[in-house]
Amino acid sequence: ADIAIATARPQGAAPGPKGIALFLVPRLDESGHLNYFVRRLKNKSATRAVPTGEVEFNASQAYLIGQAELGIYYTLENLTVSRLANAAGAMGLARKAHLEVLLRVQARSAFGQPRVQHPLVRADLTDFAVRTAGGLALLFHAIQAFDIAWMENPPYTSAYHYARFLSHLAKNRTAEHSTHLTQLGMELFGGLGFLEDYAIARLHREALVTAIWEGSSNIQALDMLEAMHKKSA
């Protein structure tokens, strides 16, 4: 990326989260040299097209975003956006798995009839349809709520706290849907679903990280409780 955002504690800032400021860090410094050093790229089980690495800052140039004392609020707003994006990605994986499965069970036969006509297969397809529809409805409701409140500044109104509450709920539930449905898709493919020849195995690996990225499920649960009990969301 040409620009990244990073949190850091300015000299003399207060301890704890309230002392964190948010900065823009360009890839190149003013002289055109690389502004940070990448120690290594990590070997991951999936999402390999999105590199994850360890970055080292040594006299790197950075630019303060807004007011230093509001950095924690800017950071949490960015996390809300990324959690909604994570939810969208999770449901995209689930929907892609759904399409792969529909084509598979319609094209293959077992015990003298197309697999799509078997009652237990149809029950699984119903699970696919309901979870996909429910996850997408929750996702877009959460996006709409944040779209209404995202221009707010601290102290936030109840509309903002409700949007934040929904972001935790959507991030958690869509990750569960995505993980469950891609696994179910592998099962409906049979043994072939475990082979790299088919997309469904990769979709499942990709889905597994959606419950971890942008705060694990436990973190989402705790933050959602905080929004409910302290902010009355």
Cβ atoms < 10 Å from Cβ of 174: 31
Strands (E), 27-77: 37-41, 53-56, 63-64
Half-sphere exposure of 28 (CA within 13 A, CB side): 5
Mean pLDDT across the chain: 96
Q: Which residue has the tokens 């823009």?
A: 24
Q: Tell me the C-alpha distance between 5 and 74, whole Å.
A: 11
At position 2, the amino acid (one-letter code) is D
Residue 1 pLDDT exceeds 90: no
What pLDDT is recorded for position 26? 98
pLDDT tens, residue by residue, 49-102: 888 999 999 999 999 999 999 999 999 999 999 999 999 999 999 999 999 999
> Alpha helices, DSSP H only, in 153-216?
158-189, 199-208
pLDDT tens, residue by residue, 135-186: 999 999 999 999 999 999 989 999 999 999 999 999 999 999 999 999 999 9
Tokens of 137: 């409805």
Residue 34 pLDDT exceeds 90: yes
At position 19, the amino acid (one-letter code) is G
Q: Tell me the C-alpha distance between 109 and 104, whole Å.
A: 10
What pLDDT is recorded for position 84? 98
Please report, rounded to a whole number, the percentage of residues in the chain having pLDDT higher than 70. 100
Cβ atoms < 10 Å from Cβ of 136: 18
What is the greatest pairwise CA distance in the chain?
75
Tokens of 20: 């964190």
The stretch 26-55 carries a mean pLDDT of 94
Residue 199 pLDDT exceeds 90: yes
What pLDDT is recorded for position 41? 95
92: left (phi over 0), alpha (psi -120 to 50) or beta: alpha
What pLDDT is recorded for position 60? 96
Tokens of 209: 């990280």
**In which element (H, E) is residue 103 found?**
helix 71-107
Tokens of 111: 């015990």
Residue 8, beta-bridge partner list: 21
Q: Is 8 helix (H, G, I), strand (E, B) or coil?
A: strand
- Position 10 confidence tier, pLDDT thresholds 50, 70, 90: very high
The stretch 117-124 carries a mean pLDDT of 97
